[in-house]
């Protein structure tokens, strides 16, 4: 979860490999030898070298520690100590090329040695060697995360892709009176789901209700998360057209596209809302179609299935989402932090159309602003800034006709989020009869200049009528 990631080495603002190595070196100086160092956030599209760091570079920065550094999405690099802990050598076989979303790892073309770069499911070869956090460690990370969320002005979070230990950590904090955000949890059916594991997945979801103690205003099980395709920056989002520099690549399916509608129908019939990760046009079309078919076969107006990311919709998808009131959960900070990566993958003209929020709103599609943390910043004012400027971190402008107003962006992060979760009757706005959740900020986000909007500072945060955060004096 995001709370765990907050304790990792943060690399999101690094613009060169030496910067990355400096941060690893600093963490190594504070970490006992032999303990794992985990970092996150590098993006080769933003690095001066336009490549990933190698295992040997990481070895020089932290020779006495196993190191794993996650890319912003779907890749990682590991040093030699980490590979040794995972038992990975030159003799380790490549993952089967015909397996769905199998991924792989890079080898030095001369020696055959792994360079440290792993992607897709092959990442598990390394990640399985990292010790799982204890329940106490998860709870402590979540306490730390709650403080950070409140400081950013968050009174509620939706956590997609959790498993049993993480869910129990939320329960533990709520029972101890230390959960200071309203949490809507989605079961972790989101990961790589090969066909041979789909019966196992079904059994796992069916068993989840035994972990009871949910359903109040503070903590809810809000549905199931599926991951249907990959990401744009690493060229695994599923499109109909190929990537700019890979003419034979239209992306990948994580879940079998023939099995996915059946899984949606199965989860729908058991009374769960569904949140599906779709970054490419083909994936979004499939998710929307599956949702509509599931509701037609077994109508349940209580369920609110959602399309997560919804970057590059077809015209048909926009029309269908508007007609059937299917929310688009748009990760607006990606425009700022990953827009340049989108351009590298798709070209400027095509990438500029990402996240057409004005189109969604004019068509009547319910719109909710999200961060997709820890991939990007969970500060809502960063997301609002990105929605109203559509400017990348390197200063390139994306389709300016898709900019939305500050009021519309603010609404997407409040009323829009509440609607997407089926909570619009009790959350999302300050009015009689709703939960007393609000924040106090140091400036008017509707009036300040654009740069100041991104730098809005939260002074106080209230949850349920009680102050849960107060900023230190400036």
Average pLDDT, integer, range 200-216: 59
Spatial CB neighbours of 102, under 8 Å, sequence gap ≥ 6 = 95, 96, 120, 121, 122
Per-residue pLDDT tens digits for 417-458: 999 999 999 999 999 999 999 999 999 999 999 999 999 999
Per-residue pLDDT tens digits for 47-65: 999 999 999 999 999 999 9
* Distance (Å, whole) CA 325 – CA 223: 17
Average pLDDT, integer, range 109-113: 94
Q: For residue 30, how many other CB atoms are within 10 A of its CB?
A: 7
Per-residue pLDDT tens digits for 227-283: 999 999 989 999 999 999 999 999 999 888 998 999 899 889 988 899 999 999 999
Per-residue pLDDT tens digits for 115-159: 999 998 899 899 999 999 988 899 999 999 999 999 999 999 999
Do 388 and 450 contact (CB within 8 A), yes or no? yes
Domains belonging to the chain, first-starting first, are: 2-127 (3.10.310.70), 135-433 (3.20.20.140)
Of the listed ranges 162-176, 350-364, 388-402, the least confidently predicted one is: 162-176
pLDDT band at 212 (very low <50, low <70, confident <90, very high): very low
Q: For residue 337, how many other CB atoms are within 10 A of its CB?
A: 23
* Distance (Å, whole) CA 162 – CA 147: 20
Do 145 and 112 contact (CB within 8 A), yes or no? no
Average pLDDT, integer, range 325-331: 98
Q: Compare 186 and 347 and report the one with higher pLDDT.
A: 347
Cα 335 to Cα 223, 265, 439, distances in angstroms: 27, 33, 25
Task: Answer yes or no: is pLDDT of 200 > 50.
Answer: yes
pLDDT at 180: 97
pLDDT band at 189 (very low <50, low <70, confident <90, very high): low
Tokens of residue 414, six digits: 């409040």
Determine if the pTM surpasses 0.85: yes
* Distance (Å, whole) CA 156 – CA 423: 11
Average pLDDT, integer, range 363-371: 97
pLDDT at 433: 95
Average pLDDT, integer, range 156-178: 88
Q: Compare 210 and 16 and report the one with higher pLDDT.
A: 16
Of the listed ranges 53-62, 265-274, 329-338, 354-363, the least confidently predicted one is: 265-274
Spatial CB neighbours of 108, under 8 Å, sequence gap ≥ 6 = 114, 115
pLDDT at 192: 44
Q: Transcribe 166-197 into DSSP letters.
A: HHHHHHHHHHTT---SEEEEEES--S---GGG
The phi and psi torsions of 42 (rounded to 5 degrees) equal: -70, 150
* Distance (Å, whole) CA 250 – CA 243: 6
């Amino acid at each position: 979860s995001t709370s765990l990631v907050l304790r990792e080495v943060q690399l999101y603002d690094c613009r060169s490999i030496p910067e990355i190595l400096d941060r690893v070196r600093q963490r190594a100086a504070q970490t006992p030898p032999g303990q794992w160092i985990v970092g996150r956030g590098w993006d080769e599209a933003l690095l001066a070298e336009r490549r990933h760091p190698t295992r040997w570079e990481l070895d020089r920065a932290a020779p006495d520690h196993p190191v794993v550094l996650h890319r912003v999405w779907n890749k990682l690099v590991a040093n030699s100590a980490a590979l040794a802990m995972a038992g990975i050598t030159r003799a380790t076989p490549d993952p089967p090329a015909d397996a769905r979303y199998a991924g792989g790892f890079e080898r030095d073309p001369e020696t055959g040695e792994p360079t440290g770069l792993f992607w897709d499911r092959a990442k598990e070869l390394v990640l399985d060697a990292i010790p799982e956090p204890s329940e106490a460690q998860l709870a402590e990370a979540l306490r730390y995360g709650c403080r950070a969320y409140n400081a950013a002005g968050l009174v509620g979070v939706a956590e997609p892709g959790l498993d049993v230990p993480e869910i129990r950590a939320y329960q533990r904090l709520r029972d101890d009176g230390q959960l200071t955000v309203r949490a809507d949890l989605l079961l972790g059916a989101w990961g790589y789901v090969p066909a041979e594991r789909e019966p196992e997945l079904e059994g796992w979801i069916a068993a989840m209700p035994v972990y009871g103690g949910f359903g109040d205003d503070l903590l809810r099980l809000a549905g199931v998360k599926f991951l249907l395709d990959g990401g744009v920056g690493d060229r695994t989002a599923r499109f109909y057209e190929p990537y700019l520099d890979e003419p034979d690549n239209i992306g990948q399916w994580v879940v079998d596209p023939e099995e996915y509608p059946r899984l949606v129908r199965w989860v729908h019939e058991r009374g769960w809302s569904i949140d599906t990760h779709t970054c490419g046009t083909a994936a979004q079309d499939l998710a929307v179609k599956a949702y509509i078919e599931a509701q037609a076969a077994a109508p349940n107006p209580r369920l609110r299935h959602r399309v997560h990311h919804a970057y590059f919709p077809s015209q048909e998808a926009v029309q269908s989402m508007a007609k059937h009131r299917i929310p688009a959960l748009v990760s607006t900070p990606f425009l700022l932090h990953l827009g340049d990566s989108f351009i590298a993958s798709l070209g400027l003209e095509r990438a500029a159309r990402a996240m057409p929020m004005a189109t969604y709103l004019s068509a009547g599609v319910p719109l909710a602003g999200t961060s997709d943390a820890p991939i990007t910043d969970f500060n809502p004012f960063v997301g609002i800034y990105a929605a109203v400027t559509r400017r990348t971190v390197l200063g390139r402008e994306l389709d300016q006709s898709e900019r939305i107003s500050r009021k519309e962006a603010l609404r997407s992060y409040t009323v829009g989020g509440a609607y997407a979760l089926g909570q619009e009757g009790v959350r999302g706005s300050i009015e009689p009869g709703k939960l007393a959740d609000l924040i106090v900020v140091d400036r008017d986000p509707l009036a300040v200049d654009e740069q100041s909007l991104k730098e809005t500072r939260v002074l106080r945060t209230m949850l349920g009528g009680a102050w849960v955060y107060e900023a230190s004096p400036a």
